Structure 1
């Protein structure tokens, strides 16, 4: 496949990736919009974290970040998710896009082992947008990402926790270099939702492990 050279073209390609086929409230599944995914991947590419790198996406959902990185020249991109429905649609979509540098693993991240040679982690874990959500899941994903010893981690979090997160990253010897800010749309997909859509302020922290 011809390498993408414009962010708008990347966004258009990512629009073809289906959302979570059967969103599960217990997993706090919300699909990352293509405009947000393309912006973050483009920034990561510009910072040298995608092209010829081995990329890992923990909690990949239907695979938008893994496939986006593959489209932008990643050496390899691997998506991991506990949800069989999401992995199935990710595999199907990657085959339609004829991406031979991406693969997907059905697994709980706690059980994930023997993944080596990772350069970059890009992940959108459950970040606690629901009032009754299991808080701290995003930090669990950050801790797991660190176990694979990548050079850099990109991770989504609630913007309201930014001050705490900065301390947390610093305490775990992670050097924050960039903080990207997005209005993340949460559509009405669960029974308890009362609005058609609401925007949640989120941040994506870029942090270095090897510095």
Structure 2
């Protein structure tokens, strides 16, 4: 297994959004965060030879991280066609050997049918925008439907919510850890040139049949 640092280095070529949309909370996932989460998933046997699904894939950071760790296949589901176009370009840059299928669709109503137990990796919207509160809830609901295990990034302070949601939907939080990363200013409502984001990452095992 390649090191986490090696994975992070390969992901450094992944480009972000050409024209990010605030309503979709299109923030780039830092390569160090994606490498950390996918490395952890790989250590737990949740990547190699598995189907890995990136819900709200954006420009493909999590999907491509997983594709570099020997999965059977990767599915990147994303609503924004311009983001998918960048993701396809990023796939060529990364040159992963595993097959990656880019699907345009709403992650909260996933048009997927997965015959085998799958792993979800995702950085869903935090629900930080007015009118979009708890946007990550719908992503978790999809993860519960399509996966046996999921790894997801949430706003700091989400542990009680995530554990409660998992418990109500046949899931168990097995691991949780804090993470922080910096984002450059990209929307008008940002007041600082660079902001540090505090987040939490959760591994959840779901009692699901792996199909929608």
Q: TM-score, normalised by structure 1?
A: 0.91
Give the equivalent residue in structure 1 for 2:124.
125
Q: In the alignment, is the contact (CA less than 8 A) between 1:28 and 1:133 conserved in 2?
A: no
Give the equivalent residue in structure 1 for 2:99.
101
Give the equivalent residue in structure 1 for 2:15.
18
Q: Distance in 2 between matches of 1:57 and 1:118?
A: 14
Q: Distance in 2 between matches of 1:152 and 1:22?
A: 32
Question: What is the aligned counterpart of 2:25 among 23, 28, 38?
Answer: 28
How many correspondences in the alignment?
Answer: 206
Following TM superposition, by how much is the alpha carbon of 1:173 offset from its aligned partner in structure 2, in angstroms? Answer: 1.9
Give the equivalent residue in structure 2 for 1:78.
75
Give the 5 Å matches for 1:152-167: 152-167=149-164
SS at match of 2:40: helix
SS at match of 2:181: strand
Q: TM-score, normalised by structure 2?
A: 0.91
Give the equivalent residue in structure 2 for 1:44.
41
Following TM superposition, by how much is the alpha carbon of 1:200 offset from its aligned partner in structure 2, in angstroms? Answer: 2.1
Q: Distance in 2 between matches of 1:209 and 1:89?
A: 31
Q: In the alignment, is the contact (CA less than 8 A) between 1:56 and 1:118 conserved in 2?
A: no
Q: In the alignment, is the contact (CA less than 8 A) between 2:175 and 2:204 conserved in 1?
A: yes
Following TM superposition, by how much is the alpha carbon of 1:115 offset from its aligned partner in structure 2, in angstroms? Answer: 2.3
User: What CA RMSD, in Å, does the superposition of the two structures yield over aligned residues?
Assistant: 1.7
Give the equivalent residue in structure 2 for 1:134.
132
Unaligned runs of 5+ residues in structure 1 are: none
Deviations 1:53-98 (A, max 9, x none): 1000110000011111010111111111111111001112213333
Give the 5 Å matches for 1:165-184: 165-184=162-181
SS at match of 1:155: strand
Q: In 2 relative to 1, CA 203–110 (structure 1 residues): closer, same or farther, beyond 3 Å?
A: closer
Q: Distance in 1 between matches of 2:29 and 2:108?
A: 23
Q: Distance in 2 between matches of 1:161 and 1:210?
A: 21
SS at match of 1:60: coil
